[in-house]
A and B are shown apart, each in its own frame.
Chain A
Amino acid sequence: DGGITQSPKYLFRKEGQNVTLSCEQNLNHDAMYWYRQDPGQGLRLIYYSQIVNDFQKGDIAEGYSVSREKKESFPLTVTSAQKNPTAFYLCASSGDRARNIQYFGAGTRLSVL
């Protein structure tokens, strides 16, 4: 099936630890995005990538890092510099500039131990 796969579904981080969230898509989309969603809140853009080997900061990039070495993959690392990482993280992709629709994965819930 075509789609966006995020893993793991649940992730726990210890103090001072970096953790990496995986996002893989087989939709052949050029653009990929990472959003953060806090309980009862909307979506805030962390990072986005329009093409392989290129990515840009979104509205809340501090404490996060990304890479885009392959078209299919856009992993997000939550670094120890992110002091409040507990949230629901959503990965999205888009490939149709004429309609510019974003398609989402199922999300990863990150909690701090």
Chain B
Amino acid sequence: QQQVKQSPQSLIVQKGGISIINCAYENTAFDYFPWYQQFPGKGPALLIAIRPDVSEKKEGRFTISFNKSAKQFSLHIMDSQPGDSATYFCAASMIADNYGQNFVFGPGTRLSVLP
């Protein structure tokens, strides 16, 4: 129930195209859903996040779509650029007394944007 599933494992997109990464969770206690971007040799950086009471959040070219009933959320990268090539992790978090169980990462998606 603590797992977050993420797909695809890898994604290749042409420059200017739309990149879509999907995640799904089981535990309805999760109440915050951040996405992280990680470049090779660097630590993950917070990209965008959403709460389950909102169906969509947009920041620049990045949009999170959230489907609470299906327990699914996705990241859309519009007008994808070669500089977007990175590994993307979805995550789910909740307020919990045990900090070891309150934050779960998906396995990651390696995005390559071709010039």
Contact with A along B13-50 (1 / 0, CB 8 A): 00000000000000000001010100001111110010
Which DSSP category, helix, strand, loop or mixed, fits chain A's interface?
strand
| B45 contacts across to A, CB distance below 8 A | 104
B89→A90 contact, CB < 8 A? no
Known contacts A40-B110, A42-B108, A99 near B100 by CB under 8 Å: no
A48 CB within 8 Å of chain B: yes
| A40 contacts across to B, CB distance below 8 A | 110
A100→B102 contact, CB < 8 A? yes
Number of B residues near A (Cβ < 8 Å) is 25
A104→B41 contact, CB < 8 A? no
Known contacts A40-B110, A42-B89, A99-B32, A109 near B41 by CB under 8 Å: yes
B12 CB within 8 Å of chain A: no
| B95 contacts across to A, CB distance below 8 A | 97-98, 100
Contact with B along A40-53 (1 / 0, CB 8 A): 11110100101000
B52 CB within 8 Å of chain A: no
Q: Of A42, A102, A106, which is within 8 A of B103 by CB?
A: A102
Q: Of A42, A58, A107, which is within 8 A of B106 by CB?
A: A42
| A104 contacts across to B, CB distance below 8 A | 36, 43-45
A90 to B42, CA, bound (A): 9
A22 CB within 8 Å of chain B: no
- Nearest A-chain residue to B44, judged by Cβ: A104
B93 CB within 8 Å of chain A: yes
A85 to B49, CA, bound (A): 32
A41→B99 contact, CB < 8 A? no
B105 CB within 8 Å of chain A: yes
Q: Give me the interface of B with A, judged by CB distance under 8 Å.
A: 32, 34, 36, 41-46, 49, 89, 91, 93-95, 98-100, 102-103, 105-108, 110
Known: A4-B43, A90-B44, A94-B99. 16 other contacts (CB 8 A): A6-B43, A41-B108, A42-B89, A48-B99, A50-B99, A56-B98, A92-B43, A99-B49, A100-B32, A100-B94, A100-B95, A101-B34, A101-B93, A104-B44, A107-B41, A109-B41
